[in-house]
A and B are shown apart, each in its own frame.
Chain A
Amino acid sequence: MAGHSTYVPKSRFARWMDERLPILRLANDTITTYPTPRNLNFWYSFGGILTFMLGIQIVTGIVLAMHYVPAASMAFDSVENIMRDVNYGWLLRYMHSNGASFFFLAVYIHIFRGLYYGSYKAPREVLWILGVIIYVLMIATAFLGYVLPWGQMSFWAATVITNLFTSIDQILPHVGTAVTQWLWGGFAVGDPTLNRFFSLHYLLPFVIAGVVVLHIWALHVPGNNNPLGIDVKGPQDTVPFHPYYTVKDLFYLCLFVILFAIVVFYLPNALVEPDNYVPANPLVTPPEIVPEWYLLPFYAMLRSIPQKLIGVLVLFSALAILVFVPWLDTSKVRSMRFRPLAKQFFWALVVDCLLLGYLGAHRPDAVFPGTSIPMLPFARLGTAYYFLYFFPILPLLGLLETPRPLPLTIATSVTGSGVEQVNAPAE
Chain B
Amino acid sequence: MRFSRLALTLGLLLAASGAHAAIDTSPVPPKHPGWSFDGPFGMYDRASLQRGFQVYKEVCSACHSLNRVSFHALSSDSGGDGFFTEPQVKAIAAGYRVPAGPNDKGQTVDASGNPLMRPGIPADHFPPPFANEEAARTANNGALPPDLSIITKARAGGANYVYSIVTGFHQTPPAAFKVMPNKYYNPYFNGWNISMPPPLAPNQVTYSDGTKATVEQMAHDVVTFLSWAAEPTMEDRKRIGFGVMLFLIAFAGLLYLSYRRVWADIH
Contact = CB atoms under 8 A, between A and B. Distances in A.
Contacts of B199: none
Contact of A244 (B70, B73, B242, B266): B266
A18 interface: no
Contact of B150 (A80, A243, A414): A80
B248 A425 contact: no
B248 A278 contact: no
A257 B249 CA distance: 10
A251 interface: yes
B252 A265 contact: no
Interface string B112-153: 000000000000000000000000000000000000011001
A255 B252 contact: yes
Nearest to B263: A244
A332 interface: no
A292 to B, nearest CB: 16
A248 interface: yes
Contact of B258 (A77, A85, A247, A264): A247
Nearest to B68: A80
Nearest to B72: A85
8 contacts: A38-B266, A94-B237, A247-B259, A254-B252, A262-B245, A265-B240, A275-B154, A423-B266
B156 to A, nearest CB: 5
B259 A251 contact: yes
A36 B230 CA distance: 50
Nearest to A264: B241
A90 B248 contact: no
A67 interface: no
A269 interface: yes
B262 A247 contact: yes
Given A90-B233, A265-B240, A268-B237, A250 B255 contact: yes
Contacts of B259: 247-248, 251
Nearest to A424: B266
Contacts of B251: 254
Interface in B166-208: 190
Contacts of B242: 265
Interface string A93-110: 010000000000000000
A265 B265 CA distance: 39
Nearest to B150: A277
Contacts of B244: 261, 265
B40 A269 contact: no
Nearest to B147: A279
A96 to B, nearest CB: 15
Interface in A64-110: 77, 80, 83-85, 87, 90-91, 94
B57 interface: no
A349 interface: no
A22 interface: no
Given A80-B150, A250-B255, A274-B153, A258 B262 contact: no
A239 interface: yes
B191 to A, nearest CB: 11
Nearest to B73: A84
Given A84-B70, A244-B263, 13 more contacts: A80-B149, A90-B237, A243-B262, A247-B255, A247-B262, A251-B259, A257-B248, A258-B245, A258-B249, A261-B241, A261-B248, A265-B240, A287-B190
A252 B225 CA distance: 40
A333 to B, nearest CB: 26
Interface in A238-295: 239, 243-244, 247-248, 250-251, 254-255, 257-258, 261-262, 264-266, 268-269, 274-275, 277-278, 287
Nearest to B247: A261
Contacts of A262: 245
A251 B262 CA distance: 12
Nearest to A272: B153
A251 B238 contact: no
A276 to B, nearest CB: 8
Nearest to B158: A274
A265 B249 CA distance: 15
B123 to A, nearest CB: 10
Interface in B210-234: 230, 232-233
B20 interface: no
B155 interface: yes
A304 B69 CA distance: 43
B29 interface: no
Interface in A408-427: 414, 423, 425
A244 to B, nearest CB: 6
A94 B241 CA distance: 12
Contacts of A38: 266
A83 B79 CA distance: 12
Contacts of B236: 90
Contact of B233 (A83, A251, A257, A264): A83
Given A84-B73, A248-B263, A258-B249, A265 B155 contact: no
Nearest to A250: B255
A278 B158 CA distance: 13
The 7 tightest CB contacts between A and B, nearest first, are A265-B241, A277-B154, A251-B255, A254-B252, A277-B153, A90-B233, A251-B259
A312 to B, nearest CB: 30
A85 B70 CA distance: 10
A250 B70 CA distance: 43
A273 to B, nearest CB: 9
B78 to A, nearest CB: 9
Given A84-B68, A84-B233, A243-B262, A266 B40 contact: yes
Contact of A84 (B232, B237, B249, B265): B232
A278 B154 contact: yes
Contacts of A84: 68-70, 73, 80, 232-233
B153 A269 contact: yes
Contacts of B245: 258, 261-262, 265
Contacts of B150: 80, 277
